Amino acid sequence: MTPLPAVDSPVIAELHAALPGRVTTDPSGLVALSTDKSGHRGEGVPLAAVHAQSVEDVQQVCQIASAHRTPVVTRGAGTGLSGGATAGAGEIVLSLERMDQVLEISEGNRLAVVQAGVINGRLDEHLAPHGLWWSPDPASKDISTVGGNIAMNAGGLLCAKYGVTRESVLALKVVLADGRLLEVGHRTVKGVTGYDLTALMIGSEGTLGIIVEATLALRPAVTGDTPTLGAVFPSIVDAAAAAAEVVRAGHVPAAMELLDRPCLDAIAAHTGKELAPGGQAYLLLQHDGAAALEEIASTAEILARHRAQLTHATDQADSERLFALRRLMFPSLQALGSLLIEDVAVPRDRLAEAFAEIRRIEEEFGLSIPTAAHAGDGNLHPTFTFTGEIVPPQIWEAAGRIFEMALAMGGTLTGEHGVGLLKRRWLADELGADQMDLQQQIKAVFDPAGILNPGKIFTP
Amino acid sequence: MTPLPAVDSPVIAELHAALPGRVTTDPSGLVALSTDKSGHRGEGVPLAAVHAQSVEDVQQVCQIASAHRTPVVTRGAGTGLSGGATAGAGEIVLSLERMDQVLEISEGNRLAVVQAGVINGRLDEHLAPHGLWWSPDPASKDISTVGGNIAMNAGGLLCAKYGVTRESVLALKVVLADGRLLEVGHRTVKGVTGYDLTALMIGSEGTLGIIVEATLALRPAVTGDTPTLGAVFPSIVDAAAAAAEVVRAGHVPAAMELLDRPCLDAIAAHTGKELAPGGQAYLLLQHDGAAALEEIASTAEILARHRAQLTHATDQADSERLFALRRLMFPSLQALGSLLIEDVAVPRDRLAEAFAEIRRIEEEFGLSIPTAAHAGDGNLHPTFTFTGEIVPPQIWEAAGRIFEMALAMGGTLTGEHGVGLLKRRWLADELGADQMDLQQQIKAVFDPAGILNPGKIFTP
């Protein structure tokens, strides 16, 4: 382990002087701020943590960090699953949690301007009285920040219909590594002046700049019925094939969530609720919009043809109860031990094949790999449980096999959780040497000294 | 004018040798390929034009061009309005029009893979039997290529509801300046491995790489009624205020097109059809989707409250006739002389203010500035007519005043046509010095020798 820095570090002294009352150097506080929901952490204890309260605070941190070439690891609520916000010895943790203001809601422009630290779910509470809604809907939405959602280009349950975070961001204010404030994007719906640096920042995991403020594209709130059904299947492959058929037939459910038997067992053990009695897989499907009732009748027919037993939610409360159980899947798995949550995506017509292959890998390695999927967009979360803090090599090997499968199918290592620390060793397999090189050159344009979240996305 | 290159140029010789039968050096053919629909052209006659038939052809051109540091100007159908595809002396014109194959249509993945040169409207003919649709809908869609749409991040009539081109592209194959083939993006719905180079390429106007193949995100074809109405207003400001109110009330029309009196006059002169007898402005509004009939009743009420006289289209053919007249606006204006078509966008709640300011600028300069707007997204096309090839300084001055207005409102120089040659001198006003610098550094990463469409976007 790298030794702790001397407490008389000039960086700490400068931070205290510039940001009085906003700097933490207490080791236990620092340890808590050095990890995310991946459970991983950097080596050693960070130098200091700064709880920024303004754009100027962030600029000050970057100026001091640049002058001393000290790394800065930005974090929101620390709910990431890829180790993107882990920090270690010699690094400044920059928390944006206190920058949590909704600065503007414009009905006429259907947009909101927010600070990076606002919690996604709390933003929706602000928007609801205006009949508006920000559609990015990661399962963590009640605890994750908008800035974190943007930095990771978060997905969620509604992406097949409503798109990922990138599609709901108009403009950003970004503090650059040297402390300059950059504004990218537009307050308008359209805008094509030069390269799309807004999209470049979205999903850049704190490595190109620090997103401090965002102008968000909103949608009119969904009104009317949101009919919901649960479908119990005799096998996960039947369920995946049914979901793929729903897509092929031209339907666009608001959500289509798939859980396999090990996920269902974990939820049952944790909550006492068995979602799929007598079945091997469960599909939770919801439609919204003016044709929702007709659409659910039509998708129900497709599911029934694939041997599903269907139960329609009786009312909104029943529907919410089913989605709440789905959102409890990761907490239910966490009750079993430490987790490595994977996040591959495959082309939608290969979902059944992907599940079959995961079952094969389970057998080969003698592991249980509970796997949920956002079935409308082909995004799977194969999850490994283990004891202790260190992922066993055998689990990495099995995870590596799943990555290879996804790439061989024309898919991706990470649909929505990001590369962070956990997937960087496979990144070149997906991107290829030429793209890796271009991406690293872009990193160098924005952060020539390499102080922004070093070691994330790219292996140092 | 720069002198013609010697015909024994080694570049021409190498092109002929590598690409037999695909190289044009005939001056009249070259002149035709040196402009776009902006009417602007480069100085002098290009060195040669290559009609690429394959990715390998494009790679060959780039290798030869790189070896000789010869500029390459890529073009699709040449329908751009900003001078992005103009070429001049010493430059190779690279036409992708012959790369016009639809390579794959996947219903199960709701995507298509196409070569860059396929015409947008022709692609939709291929997709229709599959019940699928590519939503980018520039007014030029029957004559413009998908590759050109992507290179410019084209907009169109449907963006407020269906997004711009960027939202409908999953992955790209791009030939780099040195001839390497780069694949960016994903065949999956989601994917967050590293920086979003797909979005960076979209709208890069041929300056970062040459888009040769695209994987396109499709939508289920729109079915059911598409009720359409025309609204005649006593003033353009009333019409713009009504359109803004439609947005504010939470409606999302498929299209909402606004024409002012000078546009209406031009269409009437060209086609013999007066869309708005007795009125000063015309709003053409269409809804689609399951609730279209209820929605049009509701938006009609809003328009009527803003002093509109409404006429509902009697059937699909009537509706198509109205949209065809709207699409004839630019041809109608072209009948009046040479055009400078501007493309500012403003926040949607400032549309009426923008029209009022354009009327003021008309008076100040003694000019008529026919202006149409995609009113659902605040994108205006103030258009200047003049005689001859050179835009008179007074018109540039008035256009500059409109750009200043858009920027002062928090808008943009170009909503959908791109920077090209025509807007580059104002680019720094919008982006600021820091962003200009970062954008040019990104250009240098992809094209260190500066051979890809030099002088476009950025002033040399």
Q: How far apart are CA A256 and CA A237, in angstroms?
A: 15
CB contact under 8 A, B203 and A192: yes
pLDDT at residue number B3: 44
Taking the CB of residue A399, how many other CB atoms lie within 10 A of it? 25
User: By the CB < 8 Å criterion, does B448 face chain A?
Assistant: no
Q: Which residues contact B420 (CB under 8 A, 6 or more apart)?
A: B36, B38, B80, B81, B82, B83, B84, B85, B86, B205, B456, B457
Q: Which of A26, A152, A142, A6 is nearest to A80 (CA)?
A: A152
| Closest CA in chain B for residue A196 | B200
Q: How far apart are CA A316 and CA A228, in angstroms?
A: 9
Residues B68-96, mean pLDDT to the nearest whole number: 97
Phi-psi region of A39 (alpha: psi -120 to 50; beta: other; left: phi over 0): left
User: By the CB < 8 Å criterion, does B433 face chain A?
Assistant: no
Q: List chain B domain ranges.
A: 10-95, 102-220, 228-408
Residues B16-37, mean pLDDT to the nearest whole number: 95
Of A186, A221, A435, the CB nearest to B182: A435
Res. B5: pLDDT tops 90: no
Sort strands B72-75 and B92-95 into parallel, antiparallel or unpaired: parallel
pLDDT at residue number A7: 55
As its CATH architecture, domain B102-220 has: 2-Layer Sandwich (3.30)
Res. B2: pLDDT tops 60: no
Burial grade of B232 (CB within 10 A; 0-12, 13-18, 19 or more): buried
Res. A5: pLDDT tops 70: no
Residues A271-292, mean pLDDT to the nearest whole number: 96
Q: Say which range, A1-15, A371-385, A425-439, B405-419, has the weakest mean pLDDT.
A: A1-15
pLDDT at residue number B7: 55
Res. A1: pLDDT tops 50: no
| Closest CA in chain A for residue B131 | A250
Same fold across A10-95 and A102-220: no
Interaxial angle between packed helices A10-18 and A55-68, expressed in degrees from 0 to 180 and rounded to the nearest 10: 160
* The CATH fold of domain A228-408: Vanillyl-alcohol Oxidase; Chain A, domain 3 (3.40.462)
> Which positions in chain A touch B413 (Cβ < 8 Å)?
193
pLDDT at residue number A6: 46
DSSP letters for A331-358? HHHHTTSEEEE-B-B--GGGHHHHHHHH
* Each residue's pLDDT tens digit, A198-243: 999 999 999 999 999 999 999 999 999 999 999 999 999 999 999 9
* Each residue's pLDDT tens digit, A69-114: 999 999 999 999 999 999 999 999 999 999 999 999 999 999 999 9
Res. B406: pLDDT tops 80: yes
pLDDT at residue number B8: 64
CATH code, A10-95 = 3.30.43.10
> Which positions in chain B touch A457 (Cβ < 8 Å)?
194
pLDDT at residue number B376: 95
User: By the CB < 8 Å criterion, does A353 face chain B?
Assistant: no
In sequence order, the β-bridge partners of residue B48 are: B92
- Separation in Å, CA of A233 to nearest CA in chain B: 21
- Average of per-residue pLDDT values in chain A: 95
* Each residue's pLDDT tens digit, A146-187: 999 999 999 999 999 999 999 999 999 999 999 999 999 999
CB contact under 8 A, B199 and A417: no
Check: complex ipTM more than 0.85 = yes
Q: Which residues contact B346 (CB under 8 A, 6 or more apart)?
A: A188, B353, B354, B378, B380, B405, B406, B409, B410, B411
Task: Report the percent of chain B where pLDDT is more than 90.
Answer: 95
CB contact under 8 A, A418 and B345: no
CB contact under 8 A, B347 and A188: yes
In sequence order, the β-bridge partners of residue B233 are: B281
Asked if residue A13 lies in contact with residue A1, where contact means CB atoms within 8 angstroms, the answer is no
Q: How long, in residues, is chain B?
A: 460
* Each residue's pLDDT tens digit, A44-54: 999 999 999 99
Residues B30-54, mean pLDDT to the nearest whole number: 94
SS3 B164: coil
